[in-house]
């Protein structure tokens, strides 16, 4: 999930601290959403039911921050190659880390749903290399048997689409005048709404597998949200709002926690809710978050910490979700019985994310920046 800090790009522009904090809030909600997968039979009965919509929020943030940080750099003759190098340096170290953690944890995740003992070491190493290079696996060829693009670290699928968005921005979307960009956003929004309301699933929890519905739905999610974020960066005008971080954070937690609407008989109702969130409310929350200022020390520190850990947390937590899932299934645990383990997973994932950030991600990015972008300094 586009979990991008503009600090990596903007040299003199003001920094949107509140947007960083909101990204962290959404990342924590993703962890809880994934935890409850262990008790759900489908998306119909999963608690923290709409946590998958955090990805759409991430994509909007990504488009907004990239437009804010980069649009004027093209006028200074920044090349497509330099832009893509910057994006790779910002995003890919944690892609690799997520793949490595997923590989290390793999043989501890055995349960009735997937048989890890049937996977040879050579198959695991191949899957690790593919995940680290962000090369997706096709259904039937991946080692866990769930059809995921990235069976060692499922959330990597959103980085697959994030990279597509970055390439489209560099080659095409950034060149569109604002009016044409508005038309693109409108058309993509209509396509996403049609998929959500009249599609086969009644939701937009798609994009994680290389099949028809996932690729269509994932592409629509990326195309609308990323383009909408870019459009907002061009037309955004701040409004006065007090307590923006806390208001928007509460809204995100609430929207992502809403139970499934309409059940299996009225799929369109939940699709309509997904459309309302992704197309209307999330862009509004980004505008409100960008309008606000952190005026007290506590809020400033909270936003900074949440922003710092948001992307690493998103990229390192899921191998432990596989482990938690296997533990719950193997021991036939209720949520109450496994609650201590769930709390430990959330806290441990946050700590691991912070350690990865400070001991791996930031040093690696500094090294790569010095090595490959030195001429721009």
Q: 60-64, 136-140, 224-228: lowest mean pLDDT where?
A: 136-140
Q: Rounded CA gap, 186 and 248, in Å? A: 24
pLDDT tens for residues 254-303? 999 999 999 999 999 999 999 999 999 999 999 999 999 988 999 999 99
Across the range 23-50, mean pLDDT stands at 95
Joined together, the tokens standing for residue 216 give: 């269509």
- Assign 1 a pLDDT band (cuts: 50, 70, 90): very low
Quick one: pLDDT at residue 14?
79
The DSSP string of 303-367 is HHHHHHHHHHHHHHSHHHHHHHHHHHHHHT--HHHHHHHHHHHHHHHHHHHHHHIIIIIHHHHHH
Bridge partners of residue 111, in order along the sequence? 114
pLDDT tens for residues 64-103? 999 999 999 998 889 999 999 999 999 999 999 999 999 9
Q: Give the residue extent of every domain in the chain.
A: 6-376
């Amino acid at each position: 999930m586009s979990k991008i800090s503009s600090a990596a790009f903007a040299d003199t522009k003001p920094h949107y601290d509140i947007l960083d904090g909101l990204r962290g809030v959404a990342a924590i909600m993703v962890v809880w959403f994934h935890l409850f997968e262990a008790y759900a039979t489908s998306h119909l009965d999963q608690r923290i039911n709409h946590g998958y919509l955090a990805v759409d929020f991430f994509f909007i943030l990504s488009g907004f921050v990239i437009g804010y940080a980069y649009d004027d750099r093209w006028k200074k003759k920044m090349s497509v190659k330099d832009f893509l190098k910057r994006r790779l340096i910002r995003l890919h170290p944690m892609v690799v880390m997520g793949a490595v953690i997923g590989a290390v944890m793999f043989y501890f995740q055995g349960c009735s749903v997937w048989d890890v003992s049937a996977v040879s070491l050579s198959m695991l190493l191949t899957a690790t290399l593919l995940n680290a290079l962000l090369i997706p696996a096709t259904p039937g060829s991946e080692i866990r048997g769930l059809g995921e693009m990235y069976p060692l670290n499922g959330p990597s699928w959103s980085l697959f689409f994030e990279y597509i968005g970055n390439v489209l921005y560099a080659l095409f979307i950034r060149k569109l005048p604002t009016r044409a960009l508005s038309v693109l956003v409108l058309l993509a929004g209509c396509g996403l709404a049609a998929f959500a309301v009249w599609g086969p699933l009644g939701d937009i929890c798609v994009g994680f597998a290389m099949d028809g519905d996932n690729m269509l739905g994932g592409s629509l999610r990326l195309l609308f949200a990323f383009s909408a974020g870019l459009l907002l960066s061009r037309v955004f005008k701040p409004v006065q709002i007090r307590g923006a971080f806390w208001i928007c954070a509460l809204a995100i937690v609430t929207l992502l926690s809403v139970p499934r609407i309409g059940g299996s008989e009225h799929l369109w109702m939940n699709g309509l809710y997904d459309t309302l969130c992704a197309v209307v409310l999330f862009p509004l929350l980004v505008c409100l978050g960008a309008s606000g200022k952190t005026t007290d020390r506590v809020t400033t520190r909270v936003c900074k910490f949440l922003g710092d850990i948001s992307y690493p947390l998103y990229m390192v937590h899921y191998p432990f979700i596989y482990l938690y899932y296997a533990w719950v299934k193997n021991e036939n645990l209720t949520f109450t019985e496994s609650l201590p383990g769930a709390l430990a997973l959330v806290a441990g994932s946050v700590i691991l994310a912070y350690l990865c950030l400070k001991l791996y991600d930031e040093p690696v990015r500094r090294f790569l920046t010095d090595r490959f972008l030195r001429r721009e300094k």
